[in-house]
Amino acid sequence: MNFPKGKLITIMGLSGCGKTTLMRLIGGALKPVKGYIKVDGQITNDLSQDDLYAMRRKMGMLFQFGALFTDMSVYDNVAFQMREHTDLPEELIHDLVLMKLNAVGLRGTHNLMPSELSGGMARRVALARTVALDPMLIMYDEPFAGLDPISLTVVGDLVRRLNDALGATSIIVTHDVQESLKIVDYVYFMANGVIVAEGTPDEIRASEKDFVHQFVHGEMDGPVPFHYPGGGYRQDLNLQAV
């Protein structure tokens, strides 16, 4: 699997097929049992703790529900990485934070606490925080989960625009087919931990593969069965042939 620079790539698949695991592997939170992961020319598997942390500064990750720090204000959340990793003066941080918040359209919220934000707004603040240090690789873990249609479009649009503005590489893990097909450059399909299909959004829409077809069009039965594999129905109910 390859994630070229400057592109917006999505990884799709069923729940539990290993998408989040893949992200953790890229971020270096997990180590692969076999194979390797290479980010910006460095193999993450055998980086030391310090090198790994240095590498993570070039990455941003947006978590499923934003994962804003609940004990800090919106402003402090966005400023967090700047304060931790740089020695920028507070006035400069102030300007940068407001610029980032402006980019997601939430400059007016900087005094609020995360608990006072709606789900969609929290996601956008988290997005601002993720790109605070202009990372070269941004990962999104289910950025569209649990959003209303308007927030969904807003977040989708922001993801695309931020990626182009920063010239970064973005990886989106999602199962929201329609929204992601609208914005991405390339799609990978995963099932049971392996890639089963890949292609541009148009290719995917036109795909004749059973699995992809079922997934994109949300059909109930197909290669992914409705029933979890189990014993015979009659047996489970203790019915006996008379």
Binding site for other proteins (CB under 8 A): 27, 29, 53-54, 56-57, 59-61, 63-65, 67-71, 80-81, 84-85
The nearest distance, CB 106 to other proteins, in angstroms, is 18
Q: Which is nearer to other proteins, 73 or 214 (CB)?
A: 73
The nearest distance, CB 203 to other proteins, in angstroms, is 31
Q: Which is nearer to other proteins, 73 or 153 (CB)?
A: 73
CA angle (25 as vertex; 129, 169 as ends), nearest 5: 50
Lookup: tokens for 146: 């649990």
Distance CA 103, CA 165 (A): 10
Q: Which is nearer to other proteins, 142 or 198 (CB)?
A: 142
Q: Which is nearer to other proteins, 28 or 201 (CB)?
A: 28
The nearest distance, CB 160 to other proteins, in angstroms, is 22
Lookup: tokens for 214: 């079922």
The nearest distance, CB 5 to other proteins, in angstroms, is 20
Q: Which is nearer to other proteins, 17 or 59 (CB)?
A: 59
Q: Give Cβ neighbours of residue 47 (< 8 Å, ≥ 6 apart).
A: 28, 55
| Sign of the alpha-carbon dihedral angle for 135, 77, 95, 83 | negative
The nearest distance, CB 115 to other proteins, in angstroms, is 11
Instruction: Enumerate the β-bridge partners of residue 195.
Output: 190
Distance CA 5, CA 112 (A): 35
